[in-house]
Amino acid sequence: MLTIRKNIAEMPGYVPGEQPQAGTFIKLNTNECPYKPSGRIAAACQAAIERGLNRYPDPMANSFRRAASEIFGVPAEYILAGNGSDDILTILTRTFVGENETLRLPYPSYILYKSLAQLQNAKSEEIPFDEDWRLTPAFRAPTKDLKLVYLPNPNSPSGTRLTRGEVLELADSLPCPLVVDEAYADFADENCVDLVLENKNIIVTRTMSKSYGLAGLRFGFVFAHPDLIQEFVKVKDSYNCDALSIAAATAAIQDREWFEETIGKIRKTRGWMEPALAELGFHTVPSHANFIWCTQKDWDLKEIYLKLKAQNIFVRYMVYDRWKDGGCGLRISVGTDEEVRTLIEKIKEIQKNN
């Protein structure tokens, strides 16, 4: 008889954002980089092909670890690579959270953390942010069986963040590791990577999907104390990163000129995009990420999302039903200046015709 584990059969499953594959569109729904990645990638992949794809890749992706170590000033033993940061989050959850144990996350935040708990048949505690997207004391409170706490910083969907001081304080008050998910930290003024050197309870995750323009490649990494990295290695797939992605990610992270220029462009666009959306009547929050969270309780945001989609402009319509005012919002990624100008014009047209 076919028996599916009860927790799997009962879980809804994580639903990724829409990924249209054909046609031309403006894609502002999954926080990708609007620019092509570093030009060094093609040659790096070609060299990997010439070295031979008939051989297995380096299971530890050491060339990438060495490159990241130099850039971040953290020893290579503190770094582990993964097949996207979702792979890293899976490894962390499997390492720390067992059946009936508890994983904590803020609400609203990245929905995948909850799905990872469900896969483990573990419990998840979603602790609401306050009205200003600040953590409440409940987030710091030790509870029975609490094994892992996730904090996206900057947070999605809000783009808000805690300071390094606040992260350190939070880690000190928790009875378990704190994972600072820094998928969007390259767009912010500061990050927490070096905190892993002073506090073994702090684990920092990163992705190449957003700030390096490599969502299609699948490459993420984690910074943690070497004692923890050793445990993660037992949990990960033996070859969780393939030879092409290791070569491409290593070349991309070393191209600092591409990186600085691209982050500069995205931050500049973000700088005028947020007031432009606020001028249209959206309620926005100052963002430290590459997206803006837009709410407006008097409007039908789903209708705006659908009307934009009908014109091949994709934004993310999100509903957090236990959040204030029904929890509806549009999370709009920062695109090129031209893409954002078109978006603003189209929203104006929609408003005029309503």
Give the interface with ligand PLP as residue ranges (CB under 6 A).
31, 84-86, 110, 152, 156, 181, 183, 207, 209, 215, 220
Minimum distance from residue 48 beta carbon to ligand PLP (Å): 20
Minimum distance from residue 134 beta carbon to ligand PLP (Å): 18
Cα 181 to chain center, whole Å? 7
Q: How many CB atoms lie within 10 A of CB 13?
A: 8
How far is residue 117 from each of residues 114, 123, 203, 331, measured CA to CA in Å?
5, 6, 18, 24
Q: How many CB atoms lie within 10 A of CB 217?
A: 21
Q: How many CB atoms lie within 10 A of CB 53?
A: 12
In the complex with ligand PLP, which residue's Cβ is closer, 33 or 347?
33
Q: What amino acid occupies position 12?
A: P
Minimum distance from residue 112 beta carbon to ligand PLP (Å): 7
Minimum distance from residue 86 beta carbon to ligand PLP (Å): 3
Q: How far apart are CA 185 and CA 170, in angstroms?
A: 18
In the complex with ligand PLP, which residue's Cβ is closer, 83 or 295?
83
Structure letter (DSSP) for residue 207: E
Minimum distance from residue 239 beta carbon to ligand PLP (Å): 18
Minimum distance from residue 348 beta carbon to ligand PLP (Å): 28
3-state secondary structure 66-128: HHHHHHHCCCHHHEEEECCHHHHHHHHHHHHCCCCCEEEEEECCCCHHHHHHHHCCCEEEEEE
In the complex with ligand PLP, which residue's Cβ is closer, 85 or 284?
85
Q: 3-state DSSP call for residue 351?
A: helix
In the complex with ligand PLP, which residue's Cβ is closer, 125 or 181?
181
Minimum distance from residue 209 beta carbon to ligand PLP (Å): 3
Buried b / exposed e over 319-340, threshold 16 CB at 10 Å, is: ebeebeeeebbbbbbbbeeebb
Q: How far apart are CA 15 and CA 319, in angstroms?
A: 13
